[in-house]
Homo-oligomer: A and B are copies of this chain.
Amino acid sequence: MKQTTLKIKEDDNSQSLATASLENLYRIFTVPEAPNSTLGAIDKEISDNLMGFLGDRIVARERSLTAIEEDFSTPDIPEVPQFVSDYTDFVLDKLVAHSVHTSAPGFIGHMATPLPHFMLPLSRIMVALNQNLVKIETSKAFTPLERQVLGMIHGMVYERKSEFYQENLHNSRRALGTFCSGGTVANISALWVARNQMFLASNDGEFEGIAKEGLARSLKYKGYDDIAIVVSERGHYSLGKSADVLGIGRANVVSVKTDANHKVDVDAMRAKCAELKSKNIAIMAIVGIAGATETGQVDPLDRLAEIATEFDTHFHVDAAWGGPTLLSNTHKYLLKGIELADSVTIDAHKQLYVPMGAGMVVFKDPTAISAVEHHAEYILRAGSKDLGQYSIEGSRPGMAMLVHAAFHIIGRKGYEILIDQNVNKAKAFARMIEAKPDFELITDPELNILNYRYVPSEIQNILDNSSQERQKSINEILDRANQRIQKQQRASGKTFVSRTRFSQHKYGGEAVSVFRVVMANPMTTLETLGAILEEQLDLANRKGTAAIIDEIAAL
């Protein structure tokens, strides 16, 4: 054992390992940070006033990424321990200050939501317990809790009778879904199940199933030339990634065009499926979107379900964003047909207001997931209730607890109010945009996401009366203007909208750059939204509409 001096900073009661010794190391596991230490004080500051902490500690003015990188540039693991208080100062100055205030009312560019205050102490309970949900032996009550949460999501989507849940909720041979870190892993999990269900072991023992034999042999055994996933061109990028990971290939994600409302064209989807079938390509799944990442639109799920039945394929719905709309009696009709899906992805860290890292996929058939079941000798034994038998991830934290908490403390009614409010606010914002002559509304919101762009009113007239070719040239100029406005607005740090680019029926199917807004923060007011538009107009004018007009005239 080395020397046992414990260094205490004089101005602070912060723990220190500045002299690394076994005794000091015991202390970091047993002696808490003193309340009046730097870290203790910050802890209290967050507990007492979360929004104040975020507002005060995150600097508004953007620092260049290159400058920030300098603070995180050494690849060396520090040799000697640092005082906790010194490290805390570093965290505040260099990390927190230059984080993104994702809960700010004016941060409406991404699917980030503010956290209810109760999430902080509950997260502390979760972290303190440090359970591992892969197996009962390191999670015990957390495993039934997670199964219940999956049951609640399943019930929200499928509304089966109570006998169904009695039979399946805690049944070791069944699983209503799987909990994971987020929507991407949820989508991969759903498509993994879909792929494996398509190639189950044969009864005659000739074929042992895709899980064992792999994709190439499976296609050969079934006599298919290839395998594909069919989805709207507005599908989330995780679907392409899933296809890559699962060995399907991105080129086999067959993209279907959308209609003027950015919903998948059902006839085109049916035609694509027929084409694949005629080419002897297995249709592994068709995917419907409930809340497109870019536009917020919901595909006609009931009609997609018909196509899935027609072609006898897995029907997956990516409701990572839009799923919680089912908690609103007013708006749930928009997701009509979701109950026909074989699997549904829902993120809790989006519209359920849970901290980052909580995704789920639920399956209509509680035995479907057995297609990806796996075991080990030391855990996950067959017949156990270990949830790790069905998950892509191994070790996982007890995030399900926070979903459970939110469902109880906010309640279905609470969520309904939040969701209705977000949808109404998006609609109100759309009307505000339409009322401003220098903006063009691109997507009229169905849920709470919308798109628009800056188009000076004079140019809107020119655009409307131009040939498609000339429209394309004008839009290229407008794209640059919109991109510049978005970047400058982001850099000014007061508010944030994101931007994306997708094809527009109105402009002959050419893609244009647009602003993208996600309405999910209850603290965002119509005043906030008005100020965002004013700031954009202000930024637009700096370069000058005149210059844009000149540029177009010179085309």
Identify which of B35, B94, B110, B210 contacts A249 (C-beta below 8 A): B210
Query: Once bound together, how far apart are the Cα atoms of A125 and B211, in whole Å?
Result: 41
Verify if A492 is at the interface (C-beta below 8 Å from B): no
- CB–CB A118/B208 < 8 A: no
- CB–CB B125/A181 < 8 A: no
Verify if A428 is at the interface (C-beta below 8 Å from B): no
Verify if A531 is at the interface (C-beta below 8 Å from B): no
Q: A344-356, CB under 8 A of B: which get 1 and which 0?
A: 0001010000011
Q: A410-443, CB under 8 A of B: which get 1 and which 0?
A: 1111101110010000000000000000000000
Instruction: State how many angstroms separate the Cβ of A166 from the closest Cβ of chain B.
Output: 8
Closest to A176 in B: B75
- CB–CB B247/A100 < 8 A: no
In the A-B complex, list the 4 residue pairs whose CB atoms are closest, starting with the nearest: A247-B247, A214-B249, A184-B394, A215-B247
Residue numbers in B under 8 Å from A78 (CB-CB): 407-408, 411-412
Selected interface stretch from A129-137, A258-266, A304-312, A330-338: A129-137
- CB–CB B115/A396 < 8 A: no
Residue numbers in B under 8 Å from A539 (CB-CB): none
Closest to A500 in B: B378
Q: A379-422, CB under 8 A of B: which get 1 and which 0?
A: 11000010000001111111001000101111111101110010
- CB–CB B129/A40 < 8 A: no
Instruction: State how many angstroms separate the Cβ of A197 from the closest Cβ of chain B.
Output: 13
Verify if A267 is at the interface (C-beta below 8 Å from B): no
Closest to A218 in B: B249
- CB–CB A137/B498 < 8 A: yes
Query: Once bound together, how far apart are the Cα atoms of A245 and B390, in whole Å?
Result: 12
Verify if A117 is at the interface (C-beta below 8 Å from B): yes
Known: A99-B142, A246-B247. 18 other contacts (CB 8 A): A15-B117, A22-B421, A29-B523, A33-B47, A46-B128, A62-B140, A65-B385, A68-B141, A80-B412, A100-B131, A109-B137, A111-B395, A184-B392, A184-B394, A214-B243, A240-B374, A355-B397, A359-B395
Verify if A7 is at the interface (C-beta below 8 Å from B): no
- CB–CB A144/B77 < 8 A: no
